[in-house]
Amino acid sequence: MVSPPFRPPQGRPAPAPGLLRRLDAFARLAFPGFSTGFLMVLAAAPVSLPSPVFAATLPCVFFWSVFRPAAMSPPVIFALGLLLDLLTLAPLGAGVLVLLGVHGAALRFRRFLVRQSFLMVWLVFCATALLAAALFWALQALLALRVAPFGPALHAAMLSAGLYPAIALVLARVHEAMRQAETAP
Amino acid sequence: MIRLSIPLRQALARLSLPLMIAAAFGVMLLGKADALLAERLRSHLADALSPIYAALAEPMGAVRNAVEEVQALAQLREENAILREENERLRRWQAAALALESENELLRRQLNFLPEAAPAFVTARVVADGGGTYARAVLLATGPQHAIRKGQVALDERGFVGRVTEVGSRSARVLLATDMNSRIPVTLESSRARAIMAGSNGARPRLSHWPEGVMPVEGERIVTSAEAGAFPAGLPVGVVRVSPQGAPEVELFARLDRLDAVRLFDYGLRGILPPESVARPEPRPGRR
């Protein structure tokens, strides 16, 4: 996975980049991508349930794009999208485009979103999930030249909206811990 | 790490999203152009992920079992209620049966009733359906040590099946009650009226020759009758079903379409035996 070079927080003298510190920073940088990928793989585990891969991916991508866009960079999203396509039997590229779209939208509104309450962010996420599911469905229909029923896409969007609070709760803790680790001397 | 100038890095960061979107379209084109590419990639990914899933299978199975356990517990409750009710009902029936049994005992004592000997039976495996002269008959594998005899009554675990019509040294043929040639004297259990159950080669034999003034009622139980000394009285045969045309038919208790073993009872009755030699047409050459 490609990672942009480490940028120390500004306003303080940069500490000497020791190996441990660098590893630490890299771990923080790589965590969102890897955790999302791992969650997707877990969600794709063959159980007798409708596959929640898409529904589990959207909240992670959205959350990290809004709160930590440096770690959720477009190349990472690209890799995650490719993984999504491969795990969900969607035509190649559909998931990539949808996730990039979500990322772009989240980046666009992140200045507004980070100041809002959790409920507001959730509401915005619900709308985003619906749009993303619709886009995913449309892309699949376009690429496979076959109109699939819209029901499953709607279910995925609703499942995603329902999963968001649980995922965001955990990710918010992690994010907070990371921020503390970064601001600590 | 490659050191880049800050403006270049910023430009790259700003460009990466459009670049990646363009790459996404590229991947789409690639996926459209080479349909097998996605399949190959998927199989590689599945190969890589299969150890993870294999490791996950155990805890997943445990979780699924736990969920099923909980569901089973929830079902257990209502099942328990149903069983309790059924138990209550059965207890009432048991009381009725015990009362009837003691009454029966009493009446028999008063009548100086000769009890029937418990019939001897052998169980034989059904080895072939059909064949022979009859359309509805089964072939049983028997041994020379069993004294199978014509006229023995065949029952499966539920009820009347038919009669032995031919006996060889290692096999016996049973004419099923559904065969066109089968005529069984029966009793309608609630009205005690006699009738004849005539096979029709279909699944349900027809009832005929019931006495005037009595009509077989839907759901009435049919048992064999001892008339003509061919069968013992009271073997369970089936229940009356009225066909769409209004003719009374018998739905047999025995499952004649999936017979695997039958019990052959010897009641020692020699009332009407099947004819000694059945006119069997010579098999034409070319057929079995």
Task: Say yes or no: A42 contacts chain B, CB-CB below 8 A.
Answer: yes
pLDDT at A69 over 60: yes
Residues in chain A with CB shorter than 8 Å from the CB of B40 are: none
pLDDT value for A9: 56
Question: For residue B164, which phi and psi values (nearest 5 degrees)?
Answer: -75, 125
Give B49's contacts in chain A (Cβ within 8 Å).
41, 44
Interchain contact, A97 vs B24, CB within 8 Å: yes
ipTM: 0.74
Say whether B122 sits in a helix, a strand or coil.
Answer: strand
Q: How far is A76 from chain B (nearest CA, A)?
A: 10
Q: How far from the centroid of its chain's Cα atoms is residue B93's Cα?
A: 27
Which range, of B11-15, B116-120, B260-264, averages the lowest pLDDT?
Answer: B116-120
DSSP assignment, residue B261? E
The shortest CB-CB distance from A74 to any of B9, B17, B42 is to: B17
pLDDT digits (tens, 9 = 90+) for A118-160: 888 899 999 999 999 999 899 888 888 888 888 888 888 998 9
Facing residue for A86 by CB, picked from B24, B30, B42:
B42
> Measured between alpha carbons, how far is B207 from B201 in angstroms, rounded to an integer?
14
User: Per-residue pLDDT tens for B54-83?
Assistant: 888 888 888 889 999 999 999 999 999 999
Judged by CB atoms closer than 8 Å, whether chains meet at B17 and A103 is answered as yes
What residues does B123 pair with on adjacent strands?
B263
The residues, any chain, with a CB within 8 Å of residue B172's CB and separated by 6 or more, are B124, B139, B140, B142, B148, B164, B166, B264
Provide the shortest C-alpha distance from residue B80 to chain A (in Å): 29
Report CB contact under 8 Å: A78, B30: no
Residue closest to A168 by CA, chosen among A24, A25, A36, A70: A36
- Strand pairing partners for B238? B222, B252
Q: What average pLDDT is seen over chain A? A: 83
A 164-183 near B (Cβ less than 8 A): none
Mutate which of B28, B36, B44 to disrupt the A interface (most A C-beta within 10 Å)? B28
Identify the DSSP state of B257: G
Give the pLDDT confidence of A95-125 residue by residue, as tens digits.
899 999 999 888 888 888 888 888 888 999 9
Across the range B155-178, mean pLDDT stands at 88
Does A81 sit within 8 Å of B24, measured CB to CB?
yes
Residue pair B38/B31 in contact (Cβ under 8 Å)? The answer is: yes
Q: Taking the CA of residue B193 as centre, how many other CA atoms within 13 Å lie in the half-sphere pointing to its CB?
A: 16
Q: Would you call B245 helix, strand, or coil by DSSP?
A: coil
**What amino acid occupies position A158?**
M
Q: Which of A7-21, A137-151, A165-179, B71-85 has the lowest mean pLDDT?
A: A7-21
Q: Mean pLDDT over residues B248-273, rounded?
A: 85
pLDDT of residue B70: 92
